[in-house]
Structure 1
Amino acid sequence: MAASRLSLPLLLVLAVAGRAAAQDYDFFYFVLQWPGSYCDTKKSCCYPKSGKPAADFGIHGLWPNRDDGSYPQNCNPDAAFNPSKVSDLLSSLRAKWPTLACPSNDGTTFWSHEWEKHGTCAADVFDEHGYFQAALRLRDQLGVLAALTSAGVNPDGGYYTLAQIKNAIREGTGFEPYVECNRDEAGNSQLYQLYFCVNAAGDSFIECPVLPNSKKCGNRIEFPVF
């Protein structure tokens, strides 16, 4: 009996330790992408089979990251993306997490990559459905495009400073993103992706503990039309 009573606390300790070990990250990067900048490059783009997406920021991903700048990836090869598990979210995914890669496709390849590389590393918090649902909710919560346009930063091919973009988003959303730029065919720096940070539970925005190592912006940043 004594041995039996001792085994339960031990099992609880092992269970907690196993859960802690499973969470091999400290926060998430939540990354939004401007479709006009994805398309306005030498590589160009292809619209998804469902048609041209709306002129709004789409989701690139929700990526577990560590405070030291490293990140886990491809954490469960057995957890392949299953579209049937997100069947109720597909219309929202097409609208808010569209694919612009060529050749045109229905988005399944993109979503599969994001879930299998990144989402499986947050299995202690999300199953497949929960992962995509959380990203959709986070995007809606921010309202980035409205924050920019309210401050006069419009996707009309005009040029803005990095400070104008950051200040507009911080004023409108409460959080300042890391801004990543790419280059158009003429070599102009253009607003490409925005990195926000989310707590390890995947439900609240936080100030970023570490900034990503990605392409920086020039002094004049184009906000291209889409």
Structure 2
Amino acid sequence: MNKRTTLLCATIITFGLGCTYLGLTMKKPDSDSWDILIFTQTWPTTLCYTWKEHNASHECHYPPVKNQWTIHGIWPTKLGTIGPGFCNKTMVFDENALYGIKDDLNKYWTDIELPQLNVTMDKTNTINITNVTMNTNNITVTKKESIWQHEWEKHGTCAVSLPSLKSEFYYFYQGITWAKKYPMKDILEKAGIAVNSSLTVDDYLKKIKSVLNVNVYVFCFHRKDTDEQLLNEIRICFNKNLELIDCDGIKNSRGYGKSNSQLTNCDKKKPILYLDYVTPHNNSNSNDNEWDYLVFSQTWPYTFCHTWTIDSSSHTCNLPQNRNQWTIHGIWPNKIGTSGPFYCNNQTVLNLDVLDSIKSEMKNRWTEVKNSNSWLNKKEGELWKHEWTKHGTCAKSLPALDTELKYFQQALNWSIEYPLNNLLAKGGIQTDGSYPLAQYWQTLITALGKRPFIDCYTDKKNHVVYIDEVRICFNKLLKLIDCDSFRHHNDKPYTNCPDNNIYYPGVKV
């Protein structure tokens, strides 16, 4: 074989191999390579915490409704393993394909992790900027890979083997459809699982199944600094006909977690914290749990009932036995000039049995006004558990409040000592009347001898301003103090209320 013939043969072989490779990379994924679809929804508060823990400069972009769960993705999955993933790298993400559903994607499939712009200077005084493209005419800040791009390239390119998910539009539109049909916030509420609760994973699996009639997967994030676990994701599963099915048989993903169950990575022996706020990472030099004074807040139940029932037609109210009595909201340790700390020990779960001696008085003076026709098997004491977990675990650093019984008993004592309905009546303020802010302010200062904080609620529909809460403050000796002693202009009322026409609703709201 001469040199020319050899070269020609080599060219033909190379061309053939190239065509074979191109054919393999262009081959459409086979639906037999996966068994079920996992639809994953994420709790934004936990995701934001994990994002900031990765880098303190990271910022978060919450959905329009902050307490709404967001979509993570739709994941074609083979039972007993993870994946497949990145099935066709030639299917480049085209955001223009999502033109008609962009608004819904921002709402339900929110990209919470905002990109970071890093600017540094090296020893030669050269500025280095991460995520920036520069040329002689302009500077362009490039976004990090969006969640939509990542989910499409990793999972959508595998899901396209199913005709109902055959394109970017079909894939993302299906996610929006499922988010509307199976909103995790509503599912958890119907299951009797409230924000700021701490239940076991078995509770989650059992309660969610009572609503959906299928087994789901519960995914936790494990904090290394506190050894606590935060509720992170709930995953529900569908067959290739897009019918809801059990998630049995899917693999525990990401390789961490102490559970051997196929339905969770959570530690079954620990409570799962479903929090609306997560304290920052603890370190040896942290003083985050320190506080300066206590805020004792009392709520007017008829205003609270009004704000609760206008949110949903299924919401109802549980009013206190004494219809003219303000109810306790909580005792809140605070730092001067800011709020908090919160959740100082999430592993300390309230034991309601220790409150048996004061439980009847608690129901009357610390009434859980929130109720709902859609809540199933709602347990007694959810409000008390929330207040203890969020605030009581911080207040217990004070010996006078270092147990659950002391904390709740102190609130009852203050409720009796400072009955707001009687104090306001001394200034001529009666229910079903509207009064100027000055009258509320001067009446309370005269009765208390100290300056409180007055909180109002404004109904955006009828533009009526309602008196909502009154907060009074105490030092660590439990002595009454001005709530605004740290403010420069404390001659003015400490409030969020307008000057005039603040309504004090009566029994009929």
Q: Distance in 1 between matches of 2:458 and 2:387?
A: 24
Match of 1:149 in 2: 425
Assess if the C-alpha contact under 8 Å between 1:54 and 1:95 holds in 2: no
% identity of equivalent residues: 27
Distance 1:82 1:75, change over 3 A: same
Aligned ranges 1:25-174 → 2 under 5 Å: 25-41=291-307, 42-43=310-311, 46-48=316-318, 54-103=323-372, 107-125=380-398, 126=401, 127-155=403-431, 157-174=432-449
Assess if the C-alpha contact under 8 Å between 1:30 and 1:197 holds in 2: yes
Is 2:450 aligned against 1:175?
yes
Assess if the C-alpha contact under 8 Å between 2:455 and 2:469 holds in 1: yes
Q: Distance in 2 between matches of 1:107 and 1:215?
A: 32
Cα shift at 1:144? 1.6
Letter in 2 for 1:30: F
Cα shift at 1:191? 0.4
Assess if the C-alpha contact under 8 Å between 1:147 and 1:171 holds in 2: no
Match of 1:217 in 2: 498
Assess if the C-alpha contact under 8 Å between 1:34 and 1:57 holds in 2: yes
Q: Distance in 2 between matches of 1:141 and 1:51?
A: 18
Task: Tell me the alpha carbon deviations over residues 94-130 of structure 1, each in whole angstroms, 9 at most, x when there is no partner.
Answer: 1111011122756500000000000000222221110
| Greater relative CO (CA pairs within 8 A, separation 6+) | 1
Assess if the C-alpha contact under 8 Å between 2:300 and 2:468 holds in 1: yes
Match of 1:5 in 2: none
* Aligned residues between the structures: 203
Higher helix share: 1
Task: Tell me the alpha carbon deviations over residues 45-89 of structure 1, each in whole angstroms, 9 at most, x when there is no partner.
Answer: 6333x8655221111010000012131111112210110111111
Distance 1:138 1:91, change over 3 A: same
Cα shift at 1:169? 1.6
Q: Distance in 2 between matches of 1:83 and 1:31?
A: 21
Task: Tell me the alpha carbon deviations over residues 13-67 of structure 1, each in whole angstroms, 9 at most, x when there is no partner.
Answer: xxxxxxxx6961000111110011112232376333x865522111101000001
- The answer for unaligned runs of 5 or more in structure 2 is 1-286, 488-493
Q: Distance in 2 between matches of 1:172 and 1:106?
A: 38
SS at the partner of 1:74? coil
Q: Normalising by the residue count of structure 2, what TM-score does the alignment of the two structures yield? A: 0.37
CA-based RMSD:
2.5
Cα shift at 1:151? 1.7
Distance 1:38 1:59, change over 3 A: same
Assess if the C-alpha contact under 8 Å between 2:298 and 2:329 holds in 1: yes
Q: Distance in 2 between matches of 1:38 and 1:92?
A: 20
Match of 2:84 in 1: none
- The answer for unaligned runs of 5 or more in structure 1 is 1-20
Q: Distance in 1 between matches of 2:325 and 2:498?
A: 20
